[in-house]
Amino acid sequence: MTYDIVFVAASALAIASALGVVLSVNPFYSALSLIMHLVSLATMYLLLQADFLAAAQVIVYAGAVMIMFLFVIAYLGNRADEPTRDIPLWQLGAAVVAGAAVVIEIVVAVASQAFGPGKTVTDQFGNPSLVANSFFSRYLLGFEATSILLLVAAVGAVVLGSKRPSPRVDQPDDFPAPRPQPELELQAAVMGAETAFPVHHMPRKDEDGG
């Protein structure tokens, strides 16, 4: 009875928040709805006795991944919907076709599988040691390949992030080289324009000594 109530509530919340992801105008609300959706799914995993899966879902997706989404959206502020503003028509068409394909796929999949009681879930389902065993024995190759992929992505992000934009050869005027500043001017700038004191450059010993 309690399970039924929780299941219905979680399903309703999952559907409502999924709609919220698509229908929200503000991307911040979309991201928050996606988090709600992931949490509702985690609740369903809990109902299936898969505690580990639920915890992993919340930590990885609702926690780590989505916090980055929100972080970027909050930083971009009002410009967050910029990428979607001037969509070319062919992209819109492609999106509709791809969405329709997914819908057809789901309908076919659901139609071919008779609804009804599925396999019985054992007590051990989703148990951490069971999950670990399958990761480190049967699916070891895939597991390792995934981790290498993530590592490559992390290294790539660091490389991209640390690179300064270099001036393009064909448009050298885009990035004017910084004008060398005399030391005197720099000091005056640091002290502020309203500084009434004259700023004198004190020659260091090694400067006139050569």
In the complex with another protein, the residue whose CB is nearer, 75 or 197, is 75
Specify whether the CB–CB gap between 45 and 54 falls below 8 A: yes
Contacting positions for another protein (CB under 8 A): 2, 28, 32, 35, 51-52, 54-56, 58-59, 62-64, 67, 70-71, 74-75, 127-128
In the complex with another protein, the residue whose CB is nearer, 76 or 188, is 76
Shortest approach of another protein to residue 25 CB, angstroms? 12
CA distances from 162 to 6, 73, 165 (A): 48, 21, 10
Shortest approach of another protein to residue 189 CB, angstroms? 23
Shortest approach of another protein to residue 122 CB, angstroms? 14
In the complex with another protein, the residue whose CB is nearer, 75 or 90, is 75
Shortest approach of another protein to residue 126 CB, angstroms? 9
Please, which residues have CB within 8 angstroms of residue 28's CB and are 6 or more apart in sequence?
Answer: 70, 73, 74, 80
In the complex with another protein, the residue whose CB is nearer, 2 or 113, is 2
CA distances from 174 to 50, 161, 163, 164, 166 (A): 56, 20, 17, 14, 10
Element (H, E) at 46: helix 27-47
Specify whether the CB–CB gap between 57 and 34 falls below 8 A: no
In the complex with another protein, the residue whose CB is nearer, 64 or 106, is 64
Shortest approach of another protein to residue 76 CB, angstroms? 11
